[in-house]
Chains A and B, each alone.
Chain A
Amino acid sequence: MIDIDAGSPTLPPRDDGTPPDTAPRAWLLVFEYDEGGVRLVERQRIEMLAPPDDSELTQQGRAGHWIELRNSNGEALYRQVIAQPFRVSAEVFSPREGATPRRAPVEVVEGRFQVVVPDLPAATDVVFFGLGTPGEQKARAFRAPLGTGASFGAEGPSEASPLLSEKLVPR
């Protein structure tokens, strides 16, 4: 059979280069933390699709961390779960095949994490929920040697509470 080269796609131009009107608007929020607490240190409006609303997850489970956007009446408009925002322990990996990682305490609890949330017209406040300050979390996580009956919830909160509440747009 004869094979004939028909070339690569020759398509009409995608567009005139103008950004689409529907580009998703979002806030990039950068948080800084140390043992004593967490602070919102940067806010930037960006064009980015934010993660979907996690309200279903936070209604099911409240022993964790999440960001909440609220309107001026204090009503939640959007929630986003954040897994392990505070680096109170480090995950240590082994090159051995099939090995499970393990957690070790870090020497200094401080760092940054960032969250992208949708730019909702009615949102006025951002609230960060967590299970105590990073310092408290580190103390709980590594307060006793393994095998001594140490448990997490007995001495710590059973569900998250607001650790930070800020205006989304500073006055």
Chain B
Amino acid sequence: MGVADGAVIGTTKIVDHGPDSARWNLVILAEGYKDTEMDKFHFAAEAFVTKLFETQPFRAMWCAINVHRVDVKSTDSGADEPATCGDGGTGTGTMTRTYFDASFCRDGMSRLLYGDMALAQATANAAVPGFQAAIVIVNSTRYGGAGGSVAWFSQALAADEIGVHELGHSAFKLADEYGGNDTWTAGEPPEPNVTTITDRATTKWASRISAATPLPTQDNPGCAAMTTAASPVPAGTIGLFAGGSIFYCGIYHPEHKCRMQILGDPFCKVCSDAIAARLRQHLPKFSGPITGTQFQGSLAAGETKRWFTYNWNACWHVLWTVMPTAPVTPGPALRHRVRVERASREHITYWISVTNESKVAVEFDGRYEIVVRN
């Protein structure tokens, strides 16, 4: 079991927003896919990229991100599923020969799915040395996953949420926002989304807390489980809610609900800001302007036509104008209007309508100016 049961086929950059050295790089690895199943892995990787794109603040910071897909073939499909597990769960008993040797029932927990973490990390480093985040998609429809220096999740419905949550830990230094032990009595933690400080002036996200919000906003007197009480403040209110870093009380998180507590919920504002702060430095810097002529046209007096131009990088900021070239036309000649279509996650189509308001035929250039380019 292990590297003898497969091989790295190659790496494909599936989201390319510029040089890897300047961007935030996510590496997606395949586990438990046979050579003949690579299309299935490609689909799963693309689905995760789409999920990330649809998740704030990743969407807002999308141009900071590169994604690399590493095709790894295995001898068998899937992952090991021990017949019995320490927590009482059961599996099919199937044992598979796969590259990373992923298995359910790790550490005696049925849903805990992972393989050789060090090999996954080394494989990701071989693709992008110093990658910022790596995930492994495991070819199984059974729900499972795990965190760590590399995140793992299966192809079961909603298991990809494990990947997003784990990115919060591994790449953005976020703590869990749920309990597990009773009382945190250590000092103030450095993670940006948990605090022990209840003083309004000095608590970690003090500037985000309204003067009208009570502090602590929601405590947990029982301290033996996360409180199931409804939030005492409207959804989205930032305050101090008991629980975090796997302790029920003595430590607080910023909003009643957040993806670092409940998979599938949005990231709270404090977490979202922390993620955006780390991604921001990876955004493309000013590198323009770059100007050029995309098309040339001619219009009879009073005529309107529309040009469309496609596959423009969605991370570029592009301005359009039309420039009459002949003849000399005293007075205003051309009027243009630009409509913008988000044709795909990565590409823009511009629709440029041009009207000749003069009394003679006019030739012109359709010109672009790219203000920011990767």
Name A's B-contacting residues (CB within 8 A): 1-12, 14, 19-20, 23-24, 26, 28, 30, 44, 46-49, 51-52, 54, 57-58, 60-66, 81-84, 87, 89-95, 97-107, 111-114, 116, 131, 141, 146-154, 156-159
Residues of B within 8 A of A1 (CB): 304-306, 353
Given contacts A63-B188, A83-B191, A151-B182, contact A100 B262 (CB under 8 A): yes
By the criterion CB–CB under 8 Å, are A91 and B146 in contact?
yes
Q: With the chains together, A157 CA to B186 CA distance in Å? A: 7
**Nearest CB of chain B from residue A41's CB, rounded to whole Å:** 10
Given contacts A94-B111, A146-B180, A147-B224, contact A60 B190 (CB under 8 A): yes
By the criterion CB–CB under 8 Å, are B22 and A24 in contact?
yes
Interface residues of B in 10-37 (CB under 8 A from A): 19-23
By the criterion CB–CB under 8 Å, are A104 and B173 in contact?
no
By the criterion CB–CB under 8 Å, are A100 and B117 in contact?
no
Residue B125 interfacial (CB < 8 Å) = yes
By the criterion CB–CB under 8 Å, are A5 and B308 in contact?
yes
Residues of A within 8 A of B224 (CB): 146-147
Residues of A within 8 A of B292 (CB): 10-12
Given contacts A57-B192, A58-B190, A81-B190, contact A92 B278 (CB under 8 A): no
**Nearest CB of chain A from residue B325's CB, rounded to whole Å:** 16
By the criterion CB–CB under 8 Å, are B226 and A9 in contact?
no
**Nearest CB of chain B from residue A101's CB, rounded to whole Å:** 7
Query: Which chain A residue lies CB-closest to B161?
Result: A93
Query: Which chain A residue lies CB-closest to B18?
Result: A14
By the criterion CB–CB under 8 Å, are A46 and B130 in contact?
yes
By the criterion CB–CB under 8 Å, are B149 and A61 in contact?
no
Query: Which chain B residue lies CB-closest to A49?
Result: B22
Contact with A along B85-128 (1 / 0, CB 8 A): 00000000000000000000011110110000110010001000
Residues of B within 8 A of A159 (CB): 186-187
**Nearest CB of chain B from residue A95's CB, rounded to whole Å:** 4
**Nearest CB of chain B from residue A49's CB, rounded to whole Å:** 6
Q: A49-B22, A158-B186 are in contact. List 14 more A-B contacts (CB 8 A).
A: A1-B353, A6-B294, A9-B294, A10-B292, A12-B292, A51-B278, A61-B204, A63-B186, A64-B191, A100-B262, A101-B178, A149-B182, A151-B183, A151-B185
By the criterion CB–CB under 8 Å, are A7 and B309 in contact?
yes
By the criterion CB–CB under 8 Å, are A84 and B185 in contact?
no
Q: Which of B170, B188, B281, B370 contacts A49 (CB 8 A)?
A: B281
Name B's A-contacting residues (CB within 8 A): 19-23, 106-109, 111-112, 117-118, 121, 125, 129-130, 132, 143-149, 156-159, 161-162, 165-166, 169-170, 172-176, 178, 180-192, 195, 204, 224, 226, 246-247, 250, 261-264, 277-278, 281-282, 290, 292, 294-295, 297, 304-313, 351-353, 366, 368, 370, 373
By the criterion CB–CB under 8 Å, are B294 and A49 in contact?
no
**Nearest CB of chain A from residue B164's CB, rounded to whole Å:** 12
By the criterion CB–CB under 8 Å, are A9 and B311 in contact?
yes
Q: With the chains together, A31 CA to B334 CA distance in Å? A: 64
Give the one of B159, B170, B261 with max A CB within 10 A: B170
Query: Which chain A residue lies CB-closest to B185?
Result: A153
By the criterion CB–CB under 8 Å, are A6 and B308 in contact?
yes
Give the one of B118, B183, B189, B263 with max A CB within 10 A: B189
**Nearest CB of chain A from residue B373's CB, rounded to whole Å:** 8
Q: List 24 A-B contacts (CB under 8 A).
A: A1-B306, A2-B305, A4-B297, A7-B295, A9-B294, A28-B130, A48-B20, A49-B281, A61-B191, A61-B195, A63-B187, A66-B190, A83-B174, A84-B169, A89-B246, A90-B106, A90-B109, A91-B146, A91-B147, A101-B178, A102-B180, A104-B109, A141-B246, A151-B181
Residues of A within 8 A of B132 (CB): 116
Q: Which of B107, B109, B189 contacts A63 (CB 8 A)?
A: B189
Residues of B within 8 A of A24 (CB): 21-22
